[in-house]
């Protein structure tokens, strides 16, 4: 069975939101969530926020923006945060934690259910999507252009990544 990223996100947040509701809602009657626009915003507004509001009585406002926009907002609001929480990419999240913008996760029953690898950056954020990237290439084009593919698994101690080098020794593209 194939799952879409937004479907997995919805399932994760629908599972977490009601469990987090008592601690979040008791402190606030209004929550502001920062996250991506487009289909993610639609998902939140149609499938996640209404049941959360119905269950907790807490009003939720979704603030759309890309991850760097959200990071800029919380950076500008340092010390007087308007966003209750943000759903952003890991790079901006590491920056937010590094700038002291994120509080430690409160110990709760629901957080005990989170996979240890999903608890990130000094326990100040939770990963909700983990992605693997693979490299595909056309062998005929590689050969026709005189390139060779270095397999990092064939060289013990070699760092991961691919070296694409011309057979005459000049580097065409190098990633490590």
Per-10-residue mean pLDDT of the chain, 176 residues long, equals 37 48 58 92 94 93 94 90 88 90 86 84 82 78 81 51 43 41
Mean pLDDT over each residue of the chain, to the nearest integer: 75
Q: Closest Cα partner for 40 from 19, 57, 64, 20?
A: 64
**Is residue 122 located within the same domain as residue 143?**
no
Q: What is the pTM of this model?
A: 0.59
pLDDT at 27: 52
Q: Closest Cα partner for 27 from 126, 103, 111?
A: 103
pLDDT at 155: 52
What's the domain count of the chain? 2
**Is residue 80 located within the same domain as residue 116?**
yes
CA dist., res. 167 & res. 145, Å (int) = 9
**Is residue 27 located within the same domain as residue 57?**
yes
**Is residue 156 located within the same domain as residue 111?**
no
CA–CA distances in Å: residue 137 to residues 148, 149, 150, 165, 170: 11, 10, 13, 14, 20
Residue 134 lies in a domain: no
**Is residue 110 located within the same domain as residue 36?**
yes
Tell me how crowded residue 161 is: count the other CB atoms within 10 A of its CB: 11
CA dist., res. 165 & res. 168, Å (int) = 8
Cβ-Cβ contacts under 8 Å for 88 (sequence gap 6 or more): 34, 35, 67, 70, 71, 96
pLDDT at 69: 93
**Is residue 121 located within the same domain as residue 53?**
yes
**Is residue 95 located within the same domain as residue 149?**
no
Find the domain containing 121 and state its range.
Answer: 5-126
* Per-residue pLDDT tens over the stretch 33-57: 999 999 999 999 999 999 999 999 9
Residue 132 lies in a domain: no
Query: Which helix (H) or strand (E) covers residue 93, if one does?
Result: helix 90-98
pLDDT at 146: 84
**Two structure tokens written together for 120:** 């990130």
Q: Is 154 left (phi over 0), alpha (psi -120 to 50) or beta?
A: alpha
**Is residue 143 located within the same domain as residue 122?**
no
pLDDT at 28: 58
């Amino acid at each position: 069975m194939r799952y879409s990223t937004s479907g997995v996100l919805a399932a994760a947040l629908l599972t977490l939101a009601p469990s987090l509701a008592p601690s979040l809602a008791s402190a606030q009657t209004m929550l502001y969530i920062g996250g991506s626009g487009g289909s993610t915003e639609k998902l939140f507004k149609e499938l996640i926020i209404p049941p959360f509001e119905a269950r907790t009585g807490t009003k939720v406002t979704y603030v759309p923006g890309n991850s760097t926009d959200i990071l800029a907002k919380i950076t500008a609001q340092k010390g007087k945060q308007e966003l209750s929480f943000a759903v952003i990419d890991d790079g901006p999240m590491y920056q937010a934690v590094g700038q002291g913008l994120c509080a430690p996760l409160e110990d709760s029953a629901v957080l005990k259910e989170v996979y240890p690898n999903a608890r990130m950056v000094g326990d100040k954020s939770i990963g909700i999507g983990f992605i693997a990237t693979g490299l595909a290439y056309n062998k005929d084009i590689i050969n026709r252009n005189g390139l060779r593919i270095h397999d990092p698994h064939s060289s013990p101690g070699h760092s991961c990544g691919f070296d694409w080098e011309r057979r005459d020794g000049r580097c065409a593209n190098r990633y490590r």
